[in-house]
């Protein structure tokens, strides 16, 4: 699977826009170690970005969460 396809599927999954066909493709690709590694890398980057965004918020915004 290409890196672009991996990123696309994860973005669709995260935003709840994954079609049934895309979900089936995602599940099937989990059997491939290279694809699992690619998903892991994309998800790690996504969650790191979320953490960075959270750390950059002013304290008053963090308390309201």
| pLDDT score at 59 | 67
- Dist. CA 34–CA 5, nearest whole Å: 13
pLDDT at residue 62 greater than cutoff 60: no
43 backbone dihedrals φ, ψ, rounded to 5°: -65, -40
- pLDDT of 61 strictly over 70: no
d(C-alpha 41, C-alpha 28), whole Å = 18
In this prediction the pTM is: 0.71
Which letter does DSSP use for residue 57 in this model? S
CB 4 within 8 A of CB 10: no
């Amino acid at each position: 699977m290409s890196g672009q396809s991996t990123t696309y599927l994860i973005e669709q999954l995260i935003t709840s826009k994954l079609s049934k066909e895309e979900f089936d493709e995602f599940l099937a690709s989990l059997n491939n170690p290279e694809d699992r590694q690619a998903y892991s890398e994309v998800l790690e980057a996504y969650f790191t970005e979320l953490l960075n965004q959270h750390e950059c918020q002013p304290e008053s915004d963090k308390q309201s969460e």
